[in-house]
């Protein structure tokens, strides 16, 4: 027996000593020259051959091999990636294997240093860059790289090298959305009606090319036409990275920075702001309204139905419209369950045209005019615009449009006045040839203003005014005037248009107020359009309330311009959390009133349910004045791995309605077919073969399917995104080598995020050799798998994963042949509750 007392036996102190010693030689960089004596880990009576632990003697010396590390360059995080590490010549320091393409992707000026050459293994000696160093902090898995600024390309914050852009995989993709409703009315007799709406967006990705189509189908049993298809656009697109631009061929819309957007069939080259770093980036419309009942919302743009859905009573905001590639006012129809309708107009508003000094933004378009009205002449045209940032916070912009019967020229300037805000002004001169062979020449003057008043919390998102002379025609107006039936209608051009969007922050507890205004009138007719809306929102201790009021006045038609359709809407909503009684739920009260119309009240409960908050549900009961009586609705939306399902039931005094919907995505790639939630445009394909049911962090309902595949939707293009799998949802027999992958997709790309899994049993094995525990620090390799070795800990214990039901392990604790042995194992059929086998292994 050992003469050392039990309380001082080092073997009994190892569980405490090992972490202390590890912290000492891993963290104390200032004492890196102090050496740790591995013999301290063994008792004086232990005659077993000792492990060669010299590789662990200091913080810069660990076992060589592949490590997943966070790369930091000059104290700024770059990315997470796998890097191979080698020992230096003296075996005392870990050196990363860095390649020339890798350094180039990190913005290093590799061409400026001729001695920066790759060796036979493809690694460079970073010391060829004067004062450049690397340091691997093992315990935090950080690779710290220091390179002088002179050796780096000048770049803005958030810059990502184009070398890291991923064009994605070759794949066929499809996004779809189907909704429908069946309603029955019992006034004098039972009348049943049903309607359906389908939108599909098929596409094909090959390299950098993106083929896209957007098609809709609309059907109503009450209409004479039993189903109508409409193709909104078909286009072929790709990025031109050196030009920071997008090339589009097919059906699209020209840019609306200066001229009115023009639908075309042809080609367009336009600069892509998304390729710029976030710190250098210079608007998509949000549709807001008030529904008095469980209403249907239909949104049209340029004559097409681009959105159709159902909303709950109260104020709503639609932020997920598919991009159609151009501008044009949105015409919103809100169909209430009692048959009444509200009609709103949502303008496209843009901020003043300002760019940074030296930034050049351009657009070149040529093709044939593509109207939604087949009676309009389809003439060829060309357009070119340019915006350039001048010194003194000024921006100069201009452009031209040309067609066989049209010429226009634009010139404008914007200026940032600092505290006084930003303003831009431009003028367009147009010369037109009318259908009656007469000539017209006119001008359009536009002034726009934007300002944030930080002291008062006031933000003018846009304040704009445009005046056009009597004989000014925009290109779409002129094209429409050439239609065959134009003589039936008076020619109509916009004369004055005023827009205002204002947001006011009233303080931390006082909430916020918003206001929007649109007013437009026309030449040659007294028709006028006016829209005014305001809303107030506040939240305190989880209780939220909102107030909204809207007013619209539009001329009924051109023949009766002074007869107006007027309507006012008002709503008040309050929501109170019920977490104390029912987790993830809220009680809601709403009052909505319209003039003309009635007043409705509703009280309900809504919330989220299921483990990943996949289910959104709501129940409401209401009462409406003027004899309309009681009403109610039940709605639910489920977001799952293979798509989204929606359903609802609503009733009032005369109507019963069931509505339903399904939305999702389909991706066909070389490894098969993957169903998913809708992924719009840019997405990541998670590839983790045979790893089923693993969730993706921060993505509700997204998890791997039965083959180990899924899609992570709506990634930002040209930006670094981390795709992270939730390791807590892994099956008991699966371990991932890496739970996150960093991707930088280009616009429209489907990038692959590969995850390598170790599938098999998890085992804690106690290894003995010659009746003694295998020495601390020995390495264990599964001969049936090609993966990095595991390290033996205290008392010969080692954790192993991905083991088959039987096999052989190679154990090594030195370089000599007599310092290694093999263990044959057979796993028991039954597992314990933890899912980890506890085994003893005899090493021979």
Q: What is the pLDDT of residue 572?
A: 93
Q: Do residues 515 and 499 touch, judged by C-beta distance below 8 A?
A: no
Enumerate the domain spans of the chain: 65-154, 685-754, 759-842
Instruction: Please give the CATH superfamily to which domain 759-842 belongs.
Output: PapC, C-terminal domain (2.60.40.2070)
Six-digit token string for 556: 């009924």
Residue 414 clears pLDDT 50, i.e. is over it = yes
Q: Do residues 161 and 107 touch, judged by C-beta distance below 8 A?
A: yes
Residue 5 clears pLDDT 90, i.e. is over it = no
Left, alpha or beta for 829 (phi > 0: left; psi -120 to 50: alpha)?
A: alpha
Residue 508 clears pLDDT 70, i.e. is over it = yes
| Winning range, highest mean pLDDT, from 6-15, 126-135, 457-466 | 126-135
Beta strands 422-433 and 439-453, pairing class: antiparallel
Q: What is the pLDDT of residue 585?
A: 92
pLDDT tens track for 430-448? 999 887 788 999 999 999 8
Three-class DSSP category at 41: helix
Q: For 699, what's the count of Cα atoms within 13 Å in the CB-facing half-sphere?
A: 28
The b-or-e profile of 793-820 (16+ CB within 10 A means b, else e) is beebebebbbbeeebebebbbbeeeebb
CA-to-CA distance for 767 and 774, rounded, in angstroms?
6
HEC per residue, 260-289: CCCEEEEEEEEECHHHCCHHHCCCCCCEEE
Six-digit token string for 711: 């899609």
Let me know how long the chain is.
844
% the chain with pLDDT above 70: 83
- H or E segment at 463? strand 458-468
Confidence of residue 557 (pLDDT cuts 50, 70, 90): low
Instruction: Note the CATH number of domain 65-154.
Output: 3.10.20.410
Q: Which residues contact 469 (CB under 8 A, 6 or more apart)?
A: 442, 443, 444
CA-to-CA distance for 145 and 392, rounded, in angstroms?
38
What is the model's pTM? 0.75
CB atoms within 10 A of CB 212: 23
pLDDT tens track for 310-360? 777 777 777 656 545 444 567 888 888 777 788 877 654 345 678 777 889
Tokens 């059929």 belong to: 829
Q: What is the pLDDT of residue 349?
A: 36
Instruction: Please give the CATH superfamily to which domain 685-754 belongs.
Output: Outer membrane usher protein FimD, plug domain (2.60.40.2610)
Give the DSSP letter string of 700-747: TT-B--TTSEEEE--PPTTS-EEEEB-GGGS-TTEEES-SEEEE-BPT
Of residues 91 and 583, more confidence is placed in: 583
* Fold agreement (65-154, 759-842): no
pLDDT tens track for 705-757? 999 999 999 899 999 899 999 988 888 778 887 888 889 999 999 999 999 88
HEC per residue, 355-373: CCCCCEEEEEEEEEECCCC
pLDDT tens track for 667-703? 999 999 999 999 978 999 999 998 999 999 989 999 9
Confidence of residue 265 (pLDDT cuts 50, 70, 90): very high
């Amino acid at each position: 027996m050992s003469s050392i007392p039990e309380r001082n036996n080092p073997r009994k102190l190892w569980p405490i000593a090992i972490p202390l010693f590890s912290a000492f030689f891993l963290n104390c960089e200032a004492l890196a020259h102090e050496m740790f004596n591995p013999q301290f880990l063994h008792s004086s009576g232990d005659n077993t051959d000792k492990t060669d632990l010299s590789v662990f003697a200091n913080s810069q010396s660990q076992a060589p091999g592949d490590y997943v590390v966070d790369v930091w360059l000059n104290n700024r995080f770059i990315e997470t990636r796998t890097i191979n590490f080698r020992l230096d010549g003296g075996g005392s320091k870990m050196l990363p294997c860095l390649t020339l393409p890798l350094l180039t992707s990190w913005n290093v000026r590799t061409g400026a240093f001729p001695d920066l050459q790759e060796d036979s293994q493809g690694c460079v000696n970073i010391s060829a860059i004067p004062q450049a160093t690397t340091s691997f902090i093992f315990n935090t898995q950080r690779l710290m790289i220091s390179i002088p600024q002179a050796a780096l390309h000048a770049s803005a914050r958030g810059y990502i090298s184009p070398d890291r852009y991923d064009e994605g995989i070759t794949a066929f993709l499809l996004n779809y959305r189907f909704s429908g409703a069946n309603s029955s009315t019992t006034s004098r007799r039972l009348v049943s009606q049903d309607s359906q709406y389908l939108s599909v967006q098929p596409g094909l990705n090959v390299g950098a090319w993106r083929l896209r189509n957007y098609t809709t189908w609309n059907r109503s049993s009450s209409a004479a036409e039993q189903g109508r298809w409409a193709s909104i656009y078909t286009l072929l697109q790709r990025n031109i990275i050196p030009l920071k631009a997008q090339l589009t061929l097919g059906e699209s819309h020209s840019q609306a920075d200066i001229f009115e957007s023009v639908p075309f069939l042809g080609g367009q080259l336009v600069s892509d702001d998304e390729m710029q770093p976030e710190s250098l980036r210079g608007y998509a419309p949000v549709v807001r309204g008030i529904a008095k009942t469980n209403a249907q919302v239909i949104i049209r743009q340029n004559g097409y139905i681009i959105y159709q859905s159902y909303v709950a009573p109260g104020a709503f905001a639609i932020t997920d419209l598919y991009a159609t590639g151009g501008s044009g006012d949105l015409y919103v129809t809100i169909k209430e369950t009692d048959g009444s309708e509200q009609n709103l107009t949502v303008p496209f508003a843009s901020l003043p045209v300002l760019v940074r000094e030296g930034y050049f933004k351009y657009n070149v378009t040529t093709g044939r005019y593509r109207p939604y009205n087949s009676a309009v002449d389809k003439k060829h045209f060309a357009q070119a615009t340019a915006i350039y940032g001048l010194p003194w916070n000024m921006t100069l912009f201009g452009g031209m449009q040309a067609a066989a019967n049209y010429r226009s020229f634009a010139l404008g300037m914007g200026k940032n006045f600092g505290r006084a805000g930003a303003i831009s002004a431009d003028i367009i001169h147009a010369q037109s040839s009318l259908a009656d062979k007469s000539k017209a020449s006119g001008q359009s003057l536009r002034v726009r203003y934007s300002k944030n008043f930080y002291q008062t919390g006031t933000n003018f998102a846009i304040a704009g005014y445009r005046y056009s002379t009597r004989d000014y025609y925009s290109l779409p107006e002129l094209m429409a005037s050439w239609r065959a039936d134009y003589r039936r209608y008076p020619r109509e051009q916009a004369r004055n248009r005023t827009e205002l969007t204002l947001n006011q922050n009233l303080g931390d507890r006082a909430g916020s107020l918003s206001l929007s205004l649109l007013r437009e009138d026309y030449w040659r007719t007294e028709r006028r359009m006016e829209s005014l809306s305001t809303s107030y929102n506040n939240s305190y201790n989880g209780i939220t309330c909102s107030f909204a009021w809207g007013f619209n006045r539009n001329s009924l038609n051109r023949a009766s311009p002074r007869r107006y359709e007027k309507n006012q809407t008002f709503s008040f909503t309050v929501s109170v959390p019920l977490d104390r009684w029912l987790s993830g739920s809220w009680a809601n009260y709403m009052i909505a009133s319209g003039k003309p119309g009635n007043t409705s009240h509703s009280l309900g409960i809504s919330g989220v349910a299921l483990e990943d908050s996949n289910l959104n549900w709501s129940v409401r009961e209401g009462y409406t004045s003027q004899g309309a009586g009681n009403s109610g609705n039940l709605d639910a939306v489920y977001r799952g791995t293979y798509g989204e399902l929606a359903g609802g039931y609503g009733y009032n005094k005369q109507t019963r309605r069931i509505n339903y919907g399904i939305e999702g995505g389909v991706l066909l790639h070389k490894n098969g077919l993957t169903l998913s939630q809708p992924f719009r445009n840019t997405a990541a394909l998670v590839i983790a073969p045979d790893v089923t049911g693993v969730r993706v962090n921060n993505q509700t309902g997204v998890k791997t399917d039965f083959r180990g595949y899924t899609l992570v939707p709506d990634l930002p293009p040209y930006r670094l995104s981390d795709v992270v799998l939730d390791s807590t949802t892994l099956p008991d027999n699966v371990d991932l080598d890496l739970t996150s992958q960093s991707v930088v997709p280009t616009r429209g790309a489907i990038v692959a995020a590969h995850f390598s899994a170790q599938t098999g049993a998890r085992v804690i094995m106690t290894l003995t050799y010659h009746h003694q525990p295998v020495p601390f620090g020995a390495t264990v390799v599964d001969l049936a798998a090609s993966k990095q070795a595991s390290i033996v800990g205290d008392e010969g214990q080692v954790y192993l994963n991905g083991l088959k039901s039987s096999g052989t392990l190679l154990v090594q604790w030195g370089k000599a042949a007599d310092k290694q042995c093999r263990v044959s194992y057979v796993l028991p059929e039954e597992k314990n509750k933890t899912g980890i086998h506890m085994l003893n292994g005899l090493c021979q």
